[in-house]
Every structure is written in structure tokens, then in C-alpha cells.
Amino acid sequence: MIIQILDTLSYGDAVSNHALGISKILDKNEIENKIYANCVDSRLSDIAKKIDTYTNKKDDIVIYHLSSGCAIADLISSYDCIKGIDYHNITPACYMHNYNKRLERVANKGREDLYNLRNVVNFAWADSDYNASELEQIGYKCKIDTVPIIMDYNEYKINPEKSILDKYDDHGWVTNIIFVGRIAPNKKQEDVIYDFYYYKKYYNNNSRLFLVGNYNHFEKYYLKLQKLVNKLNLETSIIFTGHVKFSEIIAYYKLADLFLCESSHEGFCVPLIESMLFDIPIVAYNSSAVGETMGDGGVLIDDKDPCKTAAVVDTVINDSNIRAIISSEQKKRLDQFSVHMTEKKLINLLYSLGGCCEVYY
């Protein structure tokens, strides 16, 4: 049986969605599987069980989703079966230092766990080549494969939240720039705000910035961002949405004219793919796995110069030829991350782990 283990199975976060996506693929291929976690969202209690109810069996294949530090990592070492990690990267602790001491400790523990598991696991998966290269650097000697985050594009075919559309849809009169991601220091929302300041002042006064994401755990950072917005007199043009429902995220994507990312650390960055899905041109700072996820889609910027970024944003929004090329390249990239492509890879990988399933492609 394939056993997926993670710290928290919650509703809507990328790692949980990925684990659920793997489970769906396994179910579809009639491969027995279960999910266990330390904390399980009550809405998912039919799908996953608490980790303390799991009894390890020799025939099991355990996949541990590693994205932060937790006590489960010590349990993995004690299992007498084929075991591996699926590495989703860990936000470096330095980003949390001034904002959340507890999360800083969790991130440090995650790095320790990652190091300690290097000689314990039989296989390793990573969301991106960027994450895979980190594993190599740490000293993982087992086979490392890149398995992108599973995204079922059909799940995005839901009705957008009408109240959001009613509130902000002005039929193209206002240009909407968007960034989606939790409010967190590594996402560098302050740099998005600086870019937007220049864009609004020098290129397009009829513009608005949506910063879509939960600020839970980073209230101090969020308050600093708000103070910055006030000092730049952008209170009426920058909207912090806070926690949003899935249908609300869809509405913000529907409203967006451009996705602007200044993030300094991403192990994959799901919102880039989501933007491609909604045919929104992307302008992004080239850091960590961002460039790899974008591939030939969107525009990558190698430096943090808000004047230049504002100029690029203006060009992409106004030049229909450039937008058409970006759109076509982003569509090609989107196909490469389709659930069908990932399913094929995943099943082949599982099969190679000792004939655990009789599925051939």
C-alpha cells in the first residue's frame, strides 16, 4: 500500500492539494493508498487519518511530504519499509526572524529533518529541479526525481464569487494587477507595492493592485505593509484581501490584467501556473524556482529595480503583440504541467520502486 504522510492536511494549501492529487491518481489506477497526518482538517477527515493510528507494514511504500519541521520525520526513520520524501522546499528561517519566532524554529527543524533523512530514505522526489538540486547539495545519494505539483485544471472551472466581480469589475476602465500568495516576508509584497507605486504614478493612474492572501502568522509583516501603503498614499488603490475562499480567488484571477511576482523564495509557485490557466501575462523576479516554473512563459526580470519593472508592466499591458506571444508561450508551459503528464511520471516512478503496482504506460 502507498502511504502518504504529512504534518498537516488542510483545505486549500499547495502541499495538501498535491497529496490529495496523488491519492486521486492512485485511486484512479486502482492502487491501494492512504493519507496520514499530524493534523487533519475536519472537512477531510474521511480521506485522511491521524498519524498515531498508522501501523507500519513491511510491504508499505511511505512517501513523506516535507515542507516544514515536525516530529513525524523521526518516525519515518523507524519504518521498516521502502520510504521516501517528496520535498516541497522549506522557506529559509531568516525570512521569519523578525516576524514569527515559532515559525523560525519550525523552519530550522525542517532543515535539520531534511539533513537527517538524507541517508534514511530510499528515494526522493522534488517539485522542481531547484528543489532537487538542494537535495543533492545536502548529500542525498538516493535517486532523486522531479515530480511537479499536481494541478487538476478542471477544479478551476467553477463560478467566480459574484460579489467580488460586482465590486471590482469596471469593464476594463481600471487596470488590475494581482499577486496571489500568503502575506509573508519571503514573498516580498513590499517590492510589489514599490513597483505598483511607480506604475500608477508614471504610467497608469487608473490602476489597482490586489494582494490576495492570508496574513495569519505574519501580522507584524502585514502591518508594516499597510504602513508602507499609507505612506505612499495608495490606500484606495491597493487591496489586501486577507483569507479568501476558492471561488473568490477565481474572481480575482478573472479580474486581473497582469500577475506581478517579486518573491525571493519559491519551491515551485502554484499561482504562476494558475495565472497561465487564466491567461494572465506574468512579470516576475527571477529567483529560486520561479524561472523554472515559468519556463518560456511570461517575462522574467533579473534585478529589483521598481522603475524598470513598472516600465515592463506597462509594456506588457499595452503591447498586444507582446501579450499575444506571452499568452502562447504560457499555454505551452501549462500543457507541460497538466495532470495527465504528471500522472504518467508518477505511476512510472511508483512502479520502479519495486513493482508496487501493476500499471504500465
The 308-337 site mask, x for binding other proteins (CB under 8 A), equals x-xxx-xxx--x-xx--x---x--------
Site string for other proteins, 250-289 (x = CB under 8 A): ----------------------------------------
> Dihedral through CA 211, CA 215, CA 219, CA 222, nearest 10?
-10
Among 28, 97, 141, 245, which residue interacts with other proteins (rule: CB under 8 A)?
245
* 74 burial level (CB within 10 Å; 0-12, 13-18, 19+): exposed
Q: What is the Cα gyration radius of the chain?
A: 21
For residues 147 to 186, the per-residue mask of contacts with other proteins, x marking binding by CB under 8 A and - elsewhere, is ----------------------------------------
Show the site string, 21-60: x = touches other proteins by CB under 8 A, - = not: ----------------------------------------
Residue 143 DSSP SS3:
strand
Q: Which three cell numbers stand for residue 259?
A: 500577475
Closer by beta carbon to other proteins, 190 or else 279 = 190
Does 223 bind other proteins (CB under 8 A)? Our answer is yes
Closer to other proteins at the Cβ: 5 or 312? 312
73 or 276: CB nearest other proteins: 276
Buried/exposed 88-111: b ≥16 CB within 10 Å, e otherwise: bbbbbbebbeebbeebbebbbbbb
| Min CB(37)–other proteins separation in Å | 20
Helices 306-318 and 320-336: crossing angle, nearest 10°? 90
Q: Which is nearer to other proteins, 64 or 222 (CB)?
A: 222
Query: Could you give the 3-state DSSP secondary structure of residue 307?
Result: helix
Pick from 243, 331, 332, 344: which binds other proteins (CB under 8 A)? 243
Closest to 188 measured CA to CA, from 330, 287, 301: 287
State the Cα–Cα distance between residues 267 and 91, nearest whole angstrom. 8
Minimum distance from residue 48 beta carbon to other proteins (Å):
20
- How far is Cα 331 from Cα 131, in angstroms, rounded to an integer? 24
C-alpha cell at 210: 490586489
The helix or strand, by DSSP H or E, that contains position 350, with its residue range, turns out to be helix 339-352
- Tell me if residue 243 falls in helix, strand or coil: coil
Minimum Å gap between C-beta 285 and other proteins is 14
Beta bridge partners of 199: none
How many residues touch other proteins under the rule CB under 8 A: the total is: 38
Near other proteins by CB under 8 A, which window of 16-24, 127-135, 227-235, 342-350?
Answer: 227-235
Query: Which CB atom, from 171 or from 231, has the smaller least distance to other proteins?
Result: 231
Please check whether residue 88 is in contact with residue 15, taking contact to mean a CB–CB distance below 8 angstroms. Answer: yes
Q: In this complex, which beta carbon is closest to other proteins, that of residue 144 or of residue 299?
A: 299
Angle (nearest 5°) at CA 332 between 330 and 338: 100
Q: Which three cell numbers stand for residue 356?
A: 508496487
CB 169, min distance to other proteins, A? 23
For other proteins, the closer of residues 30 and 303 by Cβ is: 303
- What is the closest distance, in whole angstroms, from the C-beta atom of residue 322 to other proteins in the complex? 6
Length of the chain: 361
- Rule CB under 8 A: which of 191-220 touch other proteins? 194, 197-198, 202-203, 215-216, 219-220
- The residues that touch other proteins, with contacts defined as CB under 8 A, are 190, 194, 197-198, 202-203, 215-216, 219-220, 222-224, 227-228, 231-232, 242-243, 245, 296-300, 307-308, 310-312, 314-316, 319, 321-322, 325, 329
